[in-house]
Chains A and B, each alone.
Chain A
Amino acid sequence: MKTRVITRGDPEWPVHMDEIGGLPPPEQLYVRGKPIDPSRAAVAIVGTRRATVAGLDAAASIAAAVVREGWIVVSGMARGIDAAAHRAALEAGGSTVAVLGTGVDICYPPRNTALYDAIGQTGTLISEYPDGTPSARWNFPRRNRIIVGCVPAGGPVVVVEGGVKSGALITARYAIDASREVFAVPGSYRNAMAAGPNELIRSGQAALVASPDHLFEALEVQLHSRSVPSAMPAVDGLSPFQKRLLLLMDDVSTTPSRLQVESGIAWSELSPALASLEIRGLVSKRISGYEVTASGARARRCLLDAPGAESLADPLPGTGSSG
């Protein structure tokens, strides 16, 4: 692959790059892969590297939905949220732009090599640094303004997960200064990685996005495609206790010992219930505990919408905290 150098006035030059608030726009950009089409709608999706399963899920579903509308997904190719957004865009057959903090000939982080290659083939890799520039931590916040510059003025920048001092929040601040529309995916108060987006929403700087449709509504987009409702997981087969367990879990991984304390159920009953939930693909066991999967999250929503959801939180009759 060859690296092209583009400057202002080039047909490929992202014209919005000059409207990035008070920040200095780049003099030139180094590009690999497909040419950038500055007229196409784009959305930036940014977030933490330490994402939870729920965060990855949100990034992927938003990316897939906007790609179906023919939009371009812009992100920074870091681990976690960035990678999930790029991947989902590519898998949905869409185009994606990765703005790197290194030279475009370098894949950083190295574990994203497969993604880097795929973006180079069907998407675009851009950077303001010449080939051979290694990763340096001070380059990454600066490249965030270029992510913003790839989105037209008034266009959307979505913050999925991030702490209150994260790079994702830096991007959000650049985006606000550059009068882009900032959106944030809310999360549980227990989830440290939801603190950033929650704060953006609380302070009124960002609009809440809990589904891709919220994004389209806010931008008053006429949808080309009907969004495909995902298959509802069967929650009928779950026992009351299994339902209750599922509701006790949230975005962050929950350890079995915590579940034990919160449910007050003996381990001998908790253990098979957890295994059943896992066999149904609703939760997934990781070293740090159980996390709700995408279909688990849908099942939770089903349960909470169903009549009588309140009673699920009550203690179960006939079960005490016996040894």
Chain B
Amino acid sequence: MLVLLVLLFLIVALVGYLIGVYNGLVRVRAAVKLAWSNIDVLLVQRHDELPKLVEVCRQYMRYEADTLDRVMRARAGVDAARSSGNPGSLGAAERELRSGLNGLYAVAENYPQLKASEPFRHLQERISGLETALADRREVYNDAVNTNNVRIDAFPDVLVARLGEFPPAQLLHFQADQKSDVDLSAAFSR
């Protein structure tokens, strides 16, 4: 009788533990999705702001159509990558957009009237603010991805993860360019 009770207790403990592990895996998977959604919100906001910035610049920059078009093409690329939900392609598209924006800001130095205009300054600050928030949320996303990936590979969680649908998530790397300084001379030579 005592052995049966002990056995029953152990079974209850094991089942409870496995339920806890499963729920924990569901929670970290949901955290990854939530972190991605929080990045998505900011990408959409910046997507809406960029045409306004380009339009303001176009009023002053008569001979910089290539620079402006590059930003708009990169914007479309980011939007496509965002819709696909693929961190790898989003990272590449984001790299292209940031490079385009850096070029735009560098060229804007040649147009004092543009730099002094209130709409340009406001939009530049707004977009910079969104990019700062994006960088912060990318850290949160990568944190969530790391937690998810460690959990689904660690013992004993790996046993439960293999029974359910818990794929590894992909880290989000925005840019290799971010590690190097912006090439201002190249930007000014355009």
The judgment on whether A and B are partners is no
Q: Using CB atoms and an 8 Å cutoff, list the residues of chain A in contact with chain B.
A: none
